[in-house]
Structure 1
């Protein structure tokens, strides 16, 4: 048992991850696409030395490879410090200072009066000198100022009237001096001013000294430095300084050959990644994760909503080529000083993807490519806005395109949209109208170039990757196509029948969500194999002899069923799309050729006739288109045998044939539901009713004759 389990595991690993495994092919392709895109986007982050040094001549002229805008932090901080330094210091005036000074002056003279009137016990029996000294000491204690004893003694000798006069003069002079602003630094000078003013009084020298000494002693600053307010104003001034932004337009000269390289020029070159001395690890890791997430998101979308693309390494390779090509073009455009980023052909990506894969995948690719190419221009908001909106418009303009000539008209509209977008976004970032108009002109060029690129590479993608677009199908529907012309000439009945089948199948395709263009065109070609032997098919006999009447049923079976293989061979010879070839190969599945089977049984006598010997040997239909054409083929042939067709009878006929095919197992490999088959029956009935109603007005027409012939001969199911 363990051995068998190991063998099974090895077999599973071989199937899933072997060299021929689609899973391995998809994984390797995804890894390759991821590596190439990551390298393109991160190559600028690797060290590149230009041989420049600040303060030395530049060996070459260097122009900005792209438009860049960045904040010079050092210059910004310098400007903010300068703005703060320019703010003057804030001082505040203390309006209570003059009051305090006056109170202190009054307090001094009141203390002198108080001490003069105070009795000193210790000195009561001593000399007058002792009394005066005791009063002097007491006065010193009261005034808390270090005045000389001689000064205090003189004050104590003054009469009260003299004290009152000196007190008044001292307060007046102090008030006069303090009328102005006095800082701590200017206090000494103001005291000298007070002494000078006091010296001009009409008083004795000793009295002038009292006024000057008392006044200058109690004088104080009334204008002090406000550190908090000053710092606040300086911070406000610094905060109002905007970031110093350096902007260099693509192609603008940064430094000329022989010019001395400055610090500012070196900063610009570093911002452009031209003076990096080491790998910018942060940006590199960021790009790696961004690319990884973008590709994973794209892969999830394909797995969930486009499993046909996800399952095909060939189509994944095509998407990778589109992605890598536009990123390379974007890199080349961004590196040219003469070309703006608006020329990156994201609109071409939108047009190609929408035409090749449909509008939903077109929108997803616009977002993915916009995100990735945005890294080339450093996420320039103007580019991202123009690119994504123009891409979405391009998806809308081409999602129903049917003719290659329509690409020119779509290109014109895309050009106008791009010009308008460039003009609108240019007004937001450019000051000069001339630059805005130049952007709009580049938008026109970008739209035209995108249409040219799309028209140029689309045929190569169609043929090289086997993709059938609606435009290719419309071209194949032209009656002048060699195969259709030959079918019309050699097998006109089959051609008419194919047109009828196309009408039925197209209506059913619209009802169940299949591609109606593919189904119609495939119906035109589904019976081209009948060109080889047209008279062996009843619709081409036009009332003539039926060669099957004289042919062995086994041989008739081989002749009739051979038209499938011969049709496939002719389709390959004329390089028809694989989708149409598959429908040709599958449109009969393994159905029983009933007419010849029963005829062989009638002629076989007792011999056992196997159904397997009279069945088509092709594949059972797998796609919706193949199933619809199988059903439409049988319904159209049977409808020709219905007498007095009414909508109800035609709908019953359609249901009967669908159930017959279902019971026969012909629909086992298709993904049509019973609900879809009900819609198909109603669509068939509606088309048949409109056709046969018109025919009832012409009872003697050739169509009615063909009906009668089919009734008399039976329906061999071709």
Structure 2
């Protein structure tokens, strides 16, 4: 995947014409454009001004206090005349002059007021009666409230003064002498009430800046089209996405290295744990690696064609091949795991010509096809079942592709739809064909006992099976009977029934070396053991296990079948010859009459050993009844359990109970009662 992430370097200059359409290989933020947009938004924010409503009330209160002061001065001016007596009248000599009143009034007012309001205005107010002052105060306050209730910026103060002047000038119920005074007071009261708010302005500007989304150049976005002039801005964007200087770019390779390392580490830990728990399955890592590498190479070859502008050629990739091979040869969980890894690899390899990009649609397609292959492939399959699974994978591929195309809401021609459908169908069929074609190489090269191999070994025309049939026909019939029992029992507990059946076919092949020494082959002949000492008979009987294992090894048979032939008797005791020998020599050792073993290491080998003993024991009965059969099976299983023959396998007591029930049902079906037909008389 190195070339799929290597950044593409362009030889372009400013103010030249682009000879191809250039797209961004990555998604990156254009910080310069983002800052420029933020500055533009900030400058578009107008200054914030706020109206101070307290100013209007303060100015009204000020005017009111002026009228109150006028009233107070007038009242004080009348007090000296009233103090001379109730009947006397004030004289001109005791009256306070207007100038004196003005002086007293100014003492009550602030310097700002006295400087702003003309003396003539104050004198006119002092000369007015109390009733006139009340009317004038009401009219002035109303006019000031009316004008100050609206905003008055600094440049609108004079206009506001004119408005209050016009309103007071047009007021009625007051004489013209005092009207000029209240106009002067009204103009004095009107001041600016709208002021610049720096805090509010800054908040709005910050909001405008924060509202700007980062300007990004998206992966796959067209930066410059073919034939377009490369301006300074375009050239800057090309440099921003790394298309101008890629000699010192290491991030894509570091990223690819981390992805590959994570996948390899996960595979390593999983396969190591799998081999630790399945000691018989050696070479798993090598098999898995070869399958994975083959898939990666096919994917890489298809990605090279995609660079030649063949649209979406990656959909021809046989996504289910690796998954089906690994399920058949190793296990289902690892098959799903490899599908996920191939999905990630496909997203990188089929990146539509954009280095470092991810083709998510291709990843979904590979994932769906691979998992479909795992699910539709039956556990015990024939080659026709693999082809059937491939056809079902093709159906899932079609559904997946159509789903993605419709989600994109693209406008495709009929030929394009036909291309996608053809690629989906071929992907599933090619996956099945490659699985069928590659499988024999792995079975032969790694001596894998797959389902396919077991079916081939079960063929009665196999040389070893024909050898048993011709040289030891009784043993062959016995093996077939044991196979029926063992397969049913293994299927009942979830073990490999097909392995048990085929193992039974070959488990007594050692008897072909001396077939006449085994009772099932002694038809119309004497028993040679009657003329032999117990030790010699014991050696002949025990040898059939080791002889069978040697014969299978020399024929390069799978190790699982060799183990079954070697382990199906475990270290059990040859009771008949042991007791016969003990009659002659009470001091004979029991160990001398036991099979060399080893004990059964797998559930299949253990069940075959039980079925072997059960079949031989039941066949020795003349007319077995269901109760006799059930009691016999129960005793044989209990004897094996107490003798420690099942200590090295994974059989549980619950599974042994299921095995017992299955053997009982099968044998009852075989030895059912029949109608006794009468003899024909001449």
TM-score for both structures, normalised by structure 2: 0.70
Residue 188 of structure 2 is matched in structure 1 by 217
Partner of 1:713: none
Q: Which residue of 2 aligns with 1:355?
A: 328
Match of residue 90 from structure 2: none
Match of 2:115 in 1: 146
1:641 aligned partner: 620
CA 1:320–1:606: 2 relative to 1, 3 Å? closer
Q: How many residues align?
A: 649
> Which range moves more in the overlay, 68-77 or 630-639?
68-77
The equivalent position to 1:631 in structure 2, one of 610, 615, 619, is 610
Structure 1, unmatched stretches of 5+, are 1-39, 701-718
- Distance in 1 (CA, whole Å) between partners of 2:95 and 2:158 is 42
Q: Name the counterpart of 2:490.
A: 509
Structure 1 pair 104/157, CA: closer, same or farther in 2 (3 Å)? closer
Closer, same or farther: CA 48–399 of 1 in aligned 2, 3 Å: same
Deviations 1:94-151 (A, max 9, x none): 6776665555455556655655666599xx9999797477357436527636327666
**1:77 Cα offset (Å):** 6.5
Report the CA distance shift for 1:642/1:277 in structure 2 as closer, same or farther (over 3 A): same
**How do 1:249-398 and structure 2 match up within 5 A?**
249=220, 259=230, 261-269=234-242, 277=249, 279=251, 294=266, 298=270, 302=273, 307-309=276-278, 314-319=283-288, 339=312, 347-362=320-335, 392-398=371-377
1:690 alignment partner, SS class: helix
Q: CA contact under 8 A between 1:329 and 1:344: conserved in structure 2? A: yes
From 499, 512, 519, the counterpart of 1:518 = 499
Instruction: Quote how far apart the aligned CAs of 1:499 are.
Output: 1.0
Match of 1:478 in 2: 459
Distance in structure 2 (CA, Å) of the matches to 1:284 and 1:466: 36
How far is the alpha carbon of 1:657 from its aligned partner? 4.0
Please give the root-mean-square deviation of Cα atoms over the aligned residues, in Å: 5.9
- Pairing 1:40-59 to 2, within 5 Å after superposition: 50=9
Conservation of the 8 A alpha-carbon contact between 1:358 and 1:399: no
Contact 2:102 2:123 (C-alpha < 8 Å) held by counterparts:
no
Name the SS for the 2:115 alignment partner.
coil
Deviation at 1:659, TM superposition (A): 5.1
CA deviation profile, 1:640-672 (whole Å, cap 9, x unmatched) = 221111122223333444455566665554444
Contact 1:52 1:58 in 2 (8 A): no
Look up the match of 1:183: 153
Query: In structure 2, the residue corresponding to 1:650 is in which secondary structure?
Result: helix
Deviations, residues 419-457 of structure 1 (Å, cap 9, x unaligned): 4345556666x3436599798886666545544554444
- TM-score, with structure 1 as normaliser: 0.68
> Could you tell me how far apart the structure 1 residues matched to 2:668 and 2:124 are?
137
Q: Aligned with 1:182: secondary structure?
A: coil
- Inter-CA distance 254–505: structure 2 relative to 1 (3 Å threshold): farther
Q: Which moved more, 1:289-298 or 1:139-148?
A: 289-298
SS in structure 2 of the partner of residue 622 of structure 1? coil
1:578 to partner: Cα distance? 1.5
**1:265 to 1:217, Cα distance in 2 relative to 1, 3 A:** farther
Classify the secondary structure of the residue corresponding to 2:389.
helix
State the shift of 1:517 in Å: 1.3
Match 2:395 to one of 413, 416, 419? 416
Report if aligned partners of 1:94, 1:223 keep a CA contact under 8 Å in 2: yes
2-structure distance, mates of 1:226, 1:441: 70
Q: 1:230 to 1:531 in 2, by over 3 A?
A: farther
Is 2:458–2:502's contact at 8 Å kept on the other side of the alignment? yes
3-state DSSP class of the match of 1:688? helix
| Contact map agreement 1:136 1:149 (CA 8 A) in 2 | no
CA distance in 2, matches of 1:699, 1:568: 48
Q: CA–CA distance in 2 between the matches of 1:360 and 1:282? A: 29
How many Å separate the matches in 1 of 2:674 and 2:223? 80
| Partner of residue 566 from structure 2, selected from 558, 567, 585 | 585
Which residue of 666, 682, 689 maps to 2:668? 689
C-alpha contact 2:480 2:505 (8 A) present in aligned 1: yes
Q: How does 1:112-131 map to 2 (within 5 A)?
A: 119=77, 131=100
Q: CA deviation at 1:496?
A: 1.9
**Structure ID, larger Rg:** 2
Point out where structure 2 has 5 or more consecutive residues left out of the alignment: 80-92, 352-356
The alpha-carbon distance between structure 1 residues 440 and 275, as it changes in their structure 2 partners (threshold 3 A), is farther
> Could you say what secondary structure the match of 1:645 adopts?
coil
Greater Cα offset, 517-526 or 100-109: 100-109
> Partner of 1:705 in structure 2?
none
After TM superposition, the structure 1 = structure 2 runs for residues 438-477 of structure 1, keeping only pairs within 5 Å, are 447-448=428-429, 450-477=431-458
The aligned residue for residue 31 of structure 1 is none
Alpha-carbon distance in structure 2 between the residues aligned to 1:598 and 1:610? 11
Contact 1:493-1:540 at 8 Å conserved across structures: yes
- Confirm or deny: 8 A CA contact 2:474 2:521 kept in the other structure: yes
Contact 1:310-1:316 within 8 A present in 2 as well = no
Q: Is the 8 A contact 1:523 1:629 kept in 2?
A: yes
In 2, Cα distance between the equivalents of 1:698 and 1:394?
55
What residue is the counterpart of 1:8 in the other structure? Answer: none
Task: Tell me how far apart the structure 2 counterparts of residues 236 and 372 of structure 1 sit (CA, whole Å).
Answer: 44
2:82 counterpart residue number: none
Label 1:548 to 1:274 Cα distance change in 2 as closer, same or farther (>3 A). Answer: farther
Contact 2:493 2:658 in 1 (8 A): yes
- 2:676, 2:27 → 1: CA distance? 78
